[in-house]
Chain A
Amino acid sequence: MSKKNLEKPPVSKDVLSPLSNTEPLSVEHPTAQDLREDEMVESVSGMDSSYQEIFNGEEKVESEIPAPKKHKNALDPKDDEFEKGRDITRGTPADDIIVKMRDVRISFKIGTLERVIINHLNLDIKRGEILGLVGESGSGKTTIGRAIIRINKVSGGEITYNNVKISGKIPKKRERLLKTKIQMIFQDPGDSLNDRANIDYIVSEGLRAFHLYDDEADRVNKVTEMMQRVGLRPEYLSRYPHEFSGGQRQRIGIARCMVMNPEFIVADEPISALDVSIRAQVLNLIKQFQQERDLTVLFIAHDLSVVKYISDRIAVIYAGKIVELCSANRLFEAPLHPYTKALLTAVPIPDPKIERKKKIVVYNPMQHHYVKSDAPEFREIEPGHFVRCNTPEFEAMKAELARLGGEKK
């Protein structure tokens, strides 16, 4: 990953430059040199002092929002456990895992009843990839995304971020730090924006909460820059969410997420509520940001066609269990699990001749005939391609793969 950063043409940095006045906080993954602590400490403490000056001088500018007291909320980068926990000595970028979920169990309590939604979940998200998480409603895909950003509690197992534990009880400092690193884009752009707040407030709320700006001018600069970046006019900053269309609102949602310079994004069905023509815009935007800033994205969706376009790898989830995980192209070439096949036939094909011949397969979970002695496991069937199956199924799928031939390209 570090090499990739160094090789980046200067142009891409220019695009970012107005946003990253505070260089060390920029989203680019720090290279080994960047990680030298002295640099980071210096610049951020510099930010603090300048903030104090400006803050004292121009308090009235912020009259709308009660100004938080200095230092109370500011982050101290010395405590950045996530940077310390990050194992940059690992070899190829492909091995560099940002979020690790091990044996994760998530349950909800309804009265005295405990409903286990997710059990024994193992999932690795590699740095810099877009991982698509696909399944029907109720399969637990949103629950997983929310568990990573600590909205849902994990009742067993462990989630780590840069090898630092982020599930269960963690120090407050770590939690605060985490909130700047992980951001979320929500499904419904109508419900996820505060009706009573103007766009300026919505977009800069995170910046304010963590003091990620030098002074008021810097904040305004960052916010305006981000608005333009997502294709909205800076004049819109004084407007309210109801004045925007669905697509515009989702772009505001993306702006508020990206202005924090996150490393990792959970995008929870960001386009399900949008028109098709606007979907493309939002997808392009997310992909652009991801490429520019080397973000890692967990993209949750129920529609395989969308996920195919945007993600590098796809995990198909059914009833809280990941049933198939493999690269996006390969999944479409050689889907193995019956549920994946059923999902694929459900994708509408914009071609009348093909679509009319298509038979919709409905997945029946009873078709597996699993027995206790040979319970299904998550097995690697070819490099990078995992399927949940038992031994006879495994053999059958291997034979199927052999028939289909190896990966194209």
Chain B
Amino acid sequence: MANEKEVVIDVKNLSVGFHVRGKKTNVIRNISFPVYRGETLAIVGESGSGKSVTTKTFTGMLDSNGFISGGSIIFDGLDLAKFKTNDDWLQIRGKRIATIFQDPMTSLNPLLTIGYQISEVLILHHGLSKKEAKEEAIKLLAKVRIPNPEERYNDYPFQYSGGMRQRVVIAIALACRPEVLICDEPTTALDVTVQAQIIALIKELQEEYKWTTIFITHDLGVVANVADRIAVMYAGQIVEYGTVEDVFYHPEHPYTWALLASLPQLGTKDEPLSFIVGNPPSFAGEIIGDAFAPRNEYAMNIDFVMEPPIFKISETHWAKTWLLSPNAPKVKKPKVIEELHLRMKGAATELKRQEGEDYE
């Protein structure tokens, strides 16, 4: 099944490093994954795991001390990893691969009107006249459900609420009809109610415009709805990759278990929430073995010595953990993971009432 789908971005053995105080660090360590056209890929992991850095390489927006130290990113026959100058990127960045950033406060210019910031894109990329651009911009504002777009066109960002600002950012991204939309934690700074609306909006627009979404988040709960595939990242590597069903119902990597188990939605009153002990490893030194081993209660001796290879679980699902090795002892997954669907079924009372059906 996986082979039938067209791959839009193919990342192969990508490594990214940063120059820090005269030293080279290795932040993305040899990752490979495909992004399928029309699908939503969610990249999930803690802060500092390299999720944003990975997607920044797709648009050439690494910080000035960052560099791609190896591998390739194939997009439409072009190797993005080989791009050097700004001129190369102009044809890709914003136009074919657009990004929505986390903080809608900082991604809009506070000194320019909302209308100007949207029509600017249309004039630059599509060569529209000012008048046409205004009409188009108002249409876009309506598309992202800004009430009274004609009046709000001349407002400044501070006159918009956080959720509305994020809608405007989506409108700007929309303006270029990108093939790939990178959403870098688009809802982290927002309320749950607004978050739900923004995610619904992104999903809806994706159906209409048929783009591919790469959705970055630290909250596994958020992606259950939007994602088709999930890549779980830890310490610059993808430790588990699979369809959303694979990862939620049959997670195999202990880090995925830990991420899922720490969701407060899954907590019960009587027991403390499980959490991941310690901090992610520092990139300053070389990481030996499985990077997650020191924080992993399931770690075996081999985890501290040798990096685990990729173990294929099914056609669409793989994980990087020694636990999947045929020689590894059988371990029981945490109770919470085993009961996930059951627990959630219990929690979905309100839904059941709305729909009057049983969730299977």
Interface residues of A (CB under 8 A from B): 136-138, 245-246, 275-281, 283-284, 287-288, 302-306, 308-310, 328-329, 332-333, 335, 341-362
The residue that A349 contacts in the complex, of B46, B274, B348, B360, with Cβ under 8 A, is B348
B262 CB–A CB distance under 8 Å: yes
The residue that A356 contacts in the complex, of B222, B225, B259, B349, with Cβ under 8 A, is B225
Q: List 12 A-B contacts (CB under 8 A).
A: A137-B191, A277-B46, A277-B259, A277-B262, A280-B275, A284-B272, A309-B264, A309-B268, A346-B192, A349-B224, A355-B224, A356-B224
Inter-subunit contact A348/B273 (CB<8 Å):
no
Complex CA gap A137/B194 in Å reads 10
Inter-subunit contact A276/B219 (CB<8 Å):
yes
Inter-subunit contact A351/B275 (CB<8 Å):
no
Inter-subunit contact A352/B224 (CB<8 Å):
yes
Interface residues of B in 330-351 (CB under 8 A from A): 340-341, 344-345, 347-351
Closest A-chain residue to B267, C-beta based? A309
Complex CA gap A342/B350 in Å reads 10
Inter-subunit contact B192/A347 (CB<8 Å):
yes
Closest A-chain residue to B226, C-beta based? A355
The residue that B196 contacts in the complex, of A276, A329, A348, A356, with Cβ under 8 A, is A348
A96 to chain B, nearest CB (A): 21
B121 to chain A, nearest CB (A): 28
Inter-subunit contact A277/B264 (CB<8 Å):
no
Complex CA gap A277/B218 in Å reads 8
Closest A-chain residue to B196, C-beta based? A346
A75 to chain B, nearest CB (A): 35
Inter-subunit contact B269/A352 (CB<8 Å):
no
Inter-subunit contact B350/A341 (CB<8 Å):
yes
Complex CA gap A277/B217 in Å reads 12
Complex CA gap A351/B279 in Å reads 27
List of A residues within 8 angstroms of B273 by Cβ: 280, 283-284, 309
List of B residues within 8 angstroms of A350 by Cβ: 220-221, 224, 248, 260, 263, 265-266, 340, 344
B149 CB–A CB distance under 8 Å: no
Q: Is the interface of A mostly helix, strand, loop or mixed?
A: helix
Given contacts A345-B351, A350-B248, are A245 and B279 in contact (CB under 8 A)?
A: yes
Inter-subunit contact A309/B192 (CB<8 Å):
no
Complex CA gap A11/B164 in Å reads 52
Inter-subunit contact A276/B262 (CB<8 Å):
yes
Inter-subunit contact B347/A332 (CB<8 Å):
yes
Inter-subunit contact A357/B351 (CB<8 Å):
yes
Given contacts A276-B263, A302-B191, A332-B347, are A352 and B46 in contact (CB under 8 A)?
A: no
Closest A-chain residue to B343, C-beta based? A351
Given known contacts A137-B191, A344-B350, A350-B266, what 8 new A-B pairs fall within 8 Å (CB)?
A: A275-B47, A276-B263, A280-B262, A284-B273, A343-B193, A345-B354, A354-B344, A355-B224
Complex CA gap A360/B195 in Å reads 11
B297 CB–A CB distance under 8 Å: no
A139 to chain B, nearest CB (A): 10
Closest B-chain residue to A307, C-beta based? B264
Complex CA gap A318/B211 in Å reads 37
Complex CA gap A349/B275 in Å reads 18
Inter-subunit contact A358/B351 (CB<8 Å):
yes
Given contacts A335-B350, A341-B350, A357-B359, are A303 and B47 in contact (CB under 8 A)?
A: no
B129 CB–A CB distance under 8 Å: no
Complex CA gap A280/B334 in Å reads 16
Complex CA gap A126/B123 in Å reads 60
Closest 3 CB pairs of A and B: A280-B275, A351-B344, A280-B273
List of A residues within 8 angstroms of B340 by Cβ: 350-351
Inter-subunit contact B221/A349 (CB<8 Å):
yes
Complex CA gap A266/B126 in Å reads 52
Inter-subunit contact B193/A349 (CB<8 Å):
no
List of A residues within 8 angstroms of B264 by Cβ: 279-280, 283, 303, 305-306, 308-310
Inter-subunit contact B222/A348 (CB<8 Å):
yes
B109 CB–A CB distance under 8 Å: no
Complex CA gap A245/B49 in Å reads 13
List of B residues within 8 angstroms of A287 by Cβ: 272
Complex CA gap A276/B256 in Å reads 12
Complex CA gap A300/B279 in Å reads 27
List of A residues within 8 angstroms of B162 by Cβ: 137
B355 CB–A CB distance under 8 Å: yes
B204 to chain A, nearest CB (A): 11
B302 CB–A CB distance under 8 Å: no
- Name the residue in A137, A305, A310, A350 with the highest tally of chain B Cβ atoms < 10 Å from its Cβ: A350
Complex CA gap A52/B162 in Å reads 53
List of A residues within 8 angstroms of B260 by Cβ: 350
Closest A-chain residue to B259, C-beta based? A277
List of A residues within 8 angstroms of B218 by Cβ: 275-277
Complex CA gap A351/B355 in Å reads 17
Complex CA gap A105/B115 in Å reads 39
B197 CB–A CB distance under 8 Å: yes
List of B residues within 8 angstroms of A275 by Cβ: 46-47, 218
The residue that B248 contacts in the complex, of A280, A347, A351, with Cβ under 8 A, is A351
Complex CA gap A277/B266 in Å reads 13
A17 to chain B, nearest CB (A): 23
Closest B-chain residue to A349, C-beta based? B344
B258 CB–A CB distance under 8 Å: yes
Given contacts A357-B351, A362-B197, are A352 and B225 in contact (CB under 8 A)?
A: yes
Interface residues of B in 211-238 (CB under 8 A from A): 218-222, 224-225, 227
Complex CA gap A288/B272 in Å reads 9
Inter-subunit contact B262/A358 (CB<8 Å):
no
Inter-subunit contact A354/B348 (CB<8 Å):
yes
The residue that A277 contacts in the complex, of B258, B344, B351, with Cβ under 8 A, is B258
Complex CA gap A283/B269 in Å reads 12
B234 to chain A, nearest CB (A): 11
Inter-subunit contact A355/B347 (CB<8 Å):
no
Inter-subunit contact B275/A277 (CB<8 Å):
yes
B244 CB–A CB distance under 8 Å: yes
Complex CA gap A137/B344 in Å reads 27
List of A residues within 8 angstroms of B350 by Cβ: 332, 335, 341, 344-345
Given contacts A276-B218, A357-B359, A360-B197, are A347 and B341 in contact (CB under 8 A)?
A: no
List of A residues within 8 angstroms of B222 by Cβ: 348
B306 CB–A CB distance under 8 Å: no
List of A residues within 8 angstroms of B341 by Cβ: 351, 353
Inter-subunit contact A348/B224 (CB<8 Å):
yes
